[in-house]
Structure 1
Amino acid sequence: MKPLVRNAALNSYVELSQSLGIDPRVLMKRVGLDPIGLAIQDRWISGVAVAQLLELSAATSHQEDFGLLLAERRRFSNLGPISLVIREEPDVRSAVELLIRHEHMYNEMLRSRLSEANGLATLKVGLELSEAMAARQAMELAVGAFHRVLRSFLGTRWQPVSVCFTHSAPADPATHRRIFGPVVEFDREFNGIVFYASDLNAPNTMSDPLLRTYARQYFDAIAVSRDTTVLDRVRDLIEVLLPTGRCSIEQVACSLGVDRRTVHRHLAASGETFSSVLNATRTQLAEQLVANPRRSLTEISGLLGFSAPSAFSRWFSERFGCSPRQWRVQRTQEQPFVGD
């Protein structure tokens, strides 16, 4: 399977493109990405398509520093749920190590490594694209994003020993020098950031020790391993896409960066079909949502991807043997009374 990234990887892409006078919708469609889908931050999309989009955007806008300009707009929240945990880590070392160890939770293309020697720490950043292609902009976005994370811990005046890129310098390196300072270097043997190892021991001033345990417990509950199966990915995508009303095998395949036949083949190997996974996911969500009296049945119908409440009621009756309203009443009566 091709590597995926969260939609959040393109956070601020629309705004940056428009500020540079290019149409983001046209360029996204050229690489097979859905502009409307960007509204769903946790949706997974093709990493290769994102890398292609960044190169195309740089060429169209005549901005060799497009990826870096996008990195400049990065925020902690773009990392997803893991951002809640690293903010509460006690020091820079534990935060960076956690970010690297779980990078597959926000970007499956990333292959980062932290090493220390002779008083220096080296954060090497790699991209695994599954095919040969230009990825200068994606690399500068990744290195720039790591640089912003380090500065968020160490302060805006912090400066690394060196910021390295394997590609050649742009015609105008002004943006690079403004963001990284005079320490940026090109045509080096690796991509990444070199800084003093002692910086890793700096305490995290954002951390609240009382929240750290809760953040860790929350993260442990949602953390996924690198060997997440295609079936797991399909389930997650269905849950994300259902409220949009555009949940289909085609949309799931597009998010996975493959064709629909590949999705069918992987599901069949697990003894499933797209319809069976869709119905199982809907059933699980329906039980949770209908049991909540604060949600209207019309709202639930939309959250489960039905075009009309009547269609939802028919489906629910077939699955549960009664209408959603009857099921809710029955569940309410079954709940034990809790007195004062």
Structure 2
Amino acid sequence: MYGDLSARVMEVVGRFGTWQEVYSIDESFAGLVGDPAQLQAAGRDIRAAVMRHVGVPVCVGVAGTKTLAKFANRIAKQNPALGGVCALASMPAGHIEGVQQRVPASGLWGVGGKTASKLKMMGIESIADLKAADPALIRKKFSVVLQRTVLELNGTECIPHTEERVDKQQIMFSRSFSTPVTTVEGMEQVMAIYAQRGAARLAEEGLMATSMTVTAGTSRFAAGEGSFPAATIRFTTPTQDPIAMVRAAVAAIRQSTVPGAAYLRAGVMFNGLEPAAASGMLDVFGTENSQPDVGGVLGEVRSKFGSTAIGIGIGGLAEAPQWSMKREHSSPRYTTEWSELPVVRA
């Protein structure tokens, strides 16, 4: 539900910008034009449109650079009197400077705790201090990334927007376990299930993969030596065949799993993606793509009878394994599942 609402919010925000960059599941940059009054009005329109069409409250920060826009968004969140919208160009310069003097450098986008500690040793404690710092010195002592932050604080745009790539480079299926998996057999089961689900995603999006990487890991904070097996399998021809992927994933994890280690997470990642229609090479040697369209059949069955209706080998379980992520407290899928629509009675 969170992902669906996020997509709806981003679509509404995108209507107002000359360009849009979805930065994360709950953050987006958009290009706006106009004078200070128009920018302030645009911010209010965005917030009102998202609330009207999606029903989600958002805060909007408007400024000349991404760093300053994030700073403006922070002001909007922490000052209820602004109504969720802060356009720096509409605020008195003295007020902005006062806020920058009070907020520590660690409160700035891109400045972590360790960096803030090092800055403090140089006498740079607040955002205002960082803004007044010498960009060349900051680059020498830290990095070009922090130098760009200083320049952006002073109104020089240094972080251009990134156009979203339409062609995917990889697909990943990764989860943490509710209880540790400590046996080789258990990890084989994990990989059988994850490889099938990853193959299903490839089929849904009409893609084939040229390679697959399997990973697993114990807790980095557990006592003793950790175990983080990883292996990459390259297919002789691009494929989305779940049988080939399950076999490869199970074989790879079997060789690298340490019996007795308490694995808390695992994943499969498919790389070298290309459209299935482009993978028209004739497979005369009986390799991965020589299998019938098992993935298509599995997909049709699951779409009619549910995701657990059918599976391959040890991954074809009607009931979720004990190690599966617990979902008793998941949010109802109000926006995407008819059976979970809320019922209102008057």
Shared fold (TM-score greater than 0.5)?
no
Q: Which is higher, the Rg of structure 1 or of structure 2?
A: 2
Scaled by the length of structure 1, the TM-score of the pair is: 0.30
Whose relative contact order is higher, 1 or 2, with alpha carbons under 8 Å and at least 6 apart? 1
Scaled by the length of structure 2, the TM-score of the pair is: 0.29
